[in-house]
A and B are shown apart, each in its own frame.
Chain A
Amino acid sequence: MSTVVCPECEAEVMLDAGTEAGEIIVCSDCGVDLEVMSVEPAAVQLAPMEQEDWGE
């Protein structure tokens, strides 16, 4: 299990086992959505804002 630093609030965020690149996780401190850019090495960035044409 690895940890990353939230780019918004600098809290340590844990990546659960089974986390995959492209997944969205939530910072437990500030609640911002983070996109997992890579698992090995662990890296995240702020997730893109929801766009108007997004959906199912």
Chain B
Amino acid sequence: MQQRLRIGVLYSRVRVEEKWIFGAMEKRGIDYDRLDDRAIHFDLNNPKPWQQYDAVLERSLSYNSGLYALRLLNAFGVPTVNTAAVAEVCGDKLMTSAALARDDVPQPHNATAFTPEAALEAIEAFGYPVVLKPVVGSWGRLLAKVNDRDAAEAVLEHKSTLGSVQHSVFYIQEFIEKPGRDIRVIMIGDKVLTAMYRNSEHWITNTARGGSGELCPITPEIEDICLRASNAVSGGLLGVDLVEHPEKGLVVNEINHTMEFHTMQPLSGIDVAGEIVEYVVKIAKRKGE
């Protein structure tokens, strides 16, 4: 007789997405545990309590907590969604850009430097405006549109003086005159599940910053670039952000490995949480193969 699957859901807060995921687990009669990342601990000499899971779905708010938990779980032989390897690449914009560049996936022009002086030189080579982004972080926070040299010098000095050491990895991106929107696409494995435009008057179009959602038809171009992006970061459950570049066409701006879908699910009418749970079950069934 086949043993019943046991799933763990690692989370920090019960957002609406987690409520939907828990609901989808319960609807399917799945045996699952809620694992609060602020309460768990790992005994490295005793992986057994963790190895009881056939899969763990990672929904941590904290990139660090989520990433280290995934690394440990994968080291213990526990399948995770996503894998630590995917989180390592997607949680760091520079690593994402490097993976996309390696696989020739269209993306904005990016550069990086490790000192304010070298960053200023790179910015001047780009020409203004440019965008400075932290390599780790989300929800459109701490992005800076730099319009001239004075602003560049000020932002670079502030980042290197006031920020954590990670802010001294300067990630520089061309400023794209996008049509007041970007596109968020949800990928599950090699399937493009649904997509929406995120409209905003502001140059930051993130819905966490007030952007509004509108359903976006999945064109062959969207499907193609998203599949290539997903392959570049080793696939999984992903939120791919696309920008319509005036010269280059669709480009991949970033890829999220613990994506939110509170706007997408009601907008699309697709049970995203249910699809996520089905995918986790599929991964769980592969344990030990």
Contacts and interface: CB of A to CB of B under 8 A. Distances in A.
Interface string A20-38: 1111100000000001100
Given A22-B11, A23-B14, A35-B13, A56 B36 contact: no
Given A21-B14, A22-B14, A23-B14, A54 B256 contact: no
Contacts of B258: 55-56
Interface stretch (B58-66, B190-198, B227-235): B58-66
Given A20-B19, A23-B19, A53 B14 contact: no
Interface string B15-42: 1001100100000000000101000000
A52 interface: yes
Interface stretch (B104-112, B136-144, B214-222): B136-144
Contact of A22 (B36, B137, B139): B36
A22 B19 CA distance: 10
Task: Please classify how large the interface on chain A is, using the bins under 10, 10 to 19, 20 to 34, 35 or more.
Answer: 10 to 19
A21 B14 CA distance: 7
Contact of B62 (A35, A36, A53): A53
Contacts of B141: 55
Q: Is the interface of B mostly helix, strand, loop or mixed?
A: loop
Interface residues of B, number: 26
Contact of B137 (A23, A24, A36, A55): A55
Contact of A56 (B18, B164, B239): B239
A20 B199 CA distance: 31
Contacts of A21: 14
A24 B22 CA distance: 16
B259 interface: yes
B36 A55 contact: no
